[in-house]
Amino acid sequence: MGNENIITRMKNLFKQTKPEVVSAHSTNVGAFYDSTTSKFMEVYGEVIQAFRTTDVKVYLDYTIENAELKDGQKILDAGCGVGGPASYFAEKLNVQVEGITVSEVQVQKSKEIIASKKLKGIVNIQQGDYHRIDEIFGSNIFDRVIFLESFGHSDNKSLLIEKAFKVLKPGGILYIKDLFKREHPNEEDGKKIDRIINEINKAYCYHVADLHEVLAAMRRLNFILLFVKTPEVKVGEFEHLTISNDFQNLFDIAKIISWEDYVFPIDFYEIKVMKPPFDMNKEKHLYFLNRPEAVTQL
Ligand SMILES: C[S@@+](CC[C@H](N)C(=O)[O-])C[C@H]1O[C@@H](n2cnc3c(N)ncnc32)[C@H](O)[C@@H]1O
């Protein structure tokens, strides 16, 4: 066997065990979750989301409704954690869920979780970088791409949105639920918010998103905006984010030392957009009524 052949084989072997990641930051995120996933699971269970209901199933049902997850769909859960949400969706619906996480430890944990459930649908979870989903899965594949408190880890959100656009089928939906930097009423609060956001980013390997930038990136691609809103959770069912305080206090991660100087730095939002079922670049002189029902009449 020639040298070149050996090198190619070794490269392929390396690919199978350690998928290449786009940036050093994504590698760090993987290492972060490799070392913290057991801690997260101790506090959060199988669903690693801070904004939730006391009974987390109520929140997952809400997600099914709002992301319009339905029987027969092919869904990409981008940043799927240990597969708690993906396996819940496949327990309830006859769907095929592909999950991707950058953490090897999470893939291992997800295997036990999936095996412990009676699924109607199919769940496959693999290690990989969600900035490369087009290379991993191909174009025009998914009915839904969902990011559940995972999008904000990205250090290149425009690229990530482009990749989501690529892997979605025309008419498919991108659904993001995450935290976004709060706008501030004055300079003093602004400085406090910036400082606290920096602490969150450092502690959780995050890049808390800016809503304007995210929406601009989506609109540049002609995604059809369906809604941006605060998750509509009933006050009596809301968990009030105590879970993230418990986690921070227990493991001394981003622990809040004093509440006196604290300005709440983020808003939680859901964003739902549709990939247009037609090529918006073909007939640029036309105005398309950007409503899904109008689209089906074209
Ligand atoms: C806060 S957890 C949320 C997990 C899951 N969505 C849930 O609801 O339980 C963030 C997830 O994003 C994933 N993630 C972050 N950056 C990623 C990347 N570049 N590629 C793939 N997954 C990534 C992490 O591996 C982790 O699974």
What is the domain partition of the chain in residue ranges?
21-295
Contact at 8 Å (CB) between 211 and 180? yes
Identify the CATH homologous superfamily for domain 21-295: Vaccinia Virus protein VP39 (3.40.50.150)
pLDDT for the residue numbered 223: 94
| First and final C-alpha spacing in the chain | 57
Distance 221 CA to ligand 1 centre (A): 24
* CB 99 near ligand 1, within 6 Å: no
Query: What is the per-residue pLDDT across 88-125, written as a single tens digit (0 to 9) for each?
Result: 999 999 999 999 999 999 999 999 999 999 999 999 99
Q: Identify any residues that bridge with 176 across adjacent strands, giving them in sequence order.
A: 147, 271
* CB 84 near ligand 1, within 6 Å: yes
Substitution candidate for ligand 1 out of 32, 101, 106, 130 with most atoms within 8 A of CB? 101
Tokens of 286: 């036309």
* Helical spans, DSSP H, in 45-80: 56-66
Over 80: is that where the pLDDT of 237 sits?
yes
pLDDT for the residue numbered 151: 98
Distance 107 CA to ligand 1 centre (A): 11
Contact at 8 Å (CB) between 83 and 113? yes
pLDDT for the residue numbered 16: 46
Atom number, ligand 1, closest to the C-alpha of residue 147: 6
pLDDT for the residue numbered 273: 96
**What share of the chain has pLDDT > 90, as a percent?**
77
Q: Identify any residues that bridge with 238 across adjacent strands, giving them in sequence order.
A: 53
Distance 84 CA to ligand 1 centre (A): 12
Strands (DSSP E) along 70-211, which ranges? 74-78, 96-101, 122-127, 142-148, 168-181
Distance 77 CA to ligand 1 centre (A): 9
Distance 6 CA to ligand 1 centre (A): 34
**What pLDDT band is residue 11 in, cutting at 50, 70 and 90?**
low
Collapsed DSSP state (helix, strand, coil) of residue 11: helix
Please tell me which residue, 7 or 241, carries the higher pLDDT value. 241
Q: Is 236 left (phi over 0), alpha (psi -120 to 50) or beta?
A: alpha
Burial class (CB in 10 A: 0-12, 13-18, 19+), 1: exposed
Query: What is the per-residue pLDDT across 23-40, written as a single tens digit (0 to 9) for each?
Result: 899 999 999 999 999 999
* CB 98 near ligand 1, within 6 Å: no
Query: What is the per-residue pLDDT across 162-193, written as a single tens digit (0 to 9) for each?
Result: 999 999 999 999 999 999 999 988 999 999 99
Record the pTM: 0.91
Distance 178 CA to ligand 1 centre (A): 11
Substitution candidate for ligand 1 out of 29, 39, 62, 146 with most atoms within 8 A of CB? 29
What are the two backbone dihedrals, phi and then psi, of residue 53, each rounded to the nearest 5 degrees?
A: -100, 160
Compute the chain's Rg from CA coordinates. Answer: 20
Please tell me which residue, 147 or 292, carries the higher pLDDT value. 147
* CB 143 near ligand 1, within 6 Å: no
Over 70: is that where the pLDDT of 15 sits?
no
**What pLDDT band is residue 41 in, cutting at 50, 70 and 90?**
very high
* CB 79 near ligand 1, within 6 Å: yes
How far apart, in whole angstroms, are the C-alpha atoms of residue 15 and residue 268? 36
How far apart, in whole angstroms, are the C-alpha atoms of residue 99 and residue 89? 12
What are the two backbone dihedrals, phi and then psi, of residue 44, each rounded to the nearest 5 degrees?
A: -95, -15
Over 60: is that where the pLDDT of 236 sits?
yes
* CB 73 near ligand 1, within 6 Å: no
* CB 63 near ligand 1, within 6 Å: no
Output the CA torsion sign for 270, 107, 199, 53. positive
pLDDT for the residue numbered 23: 84
Distance 195 CA to ligand 1 centre (A): 24
Strands (DSSP E) along the chain, which ranges? 74-78, 96-101, 122-127, 142-148, 168-181, 224-229, 266-274
Sheet containing 224-229: order of strands:
122-127, 96-101, 74-78, 142-148, 168-181, 266-274, 224-229
Contact at 8 Å (CB) between 45 and 56? yes
Q: Report the half-sphere exposure of 1 (CA within 13 A, side-chain side).
A: 7
Q: Which helix (H) or strand (E) holds 55?
A: none
* CB 145 near ligand 1, within 6 Å: no
* CB 175 near ligand 1, within 6 Å: no
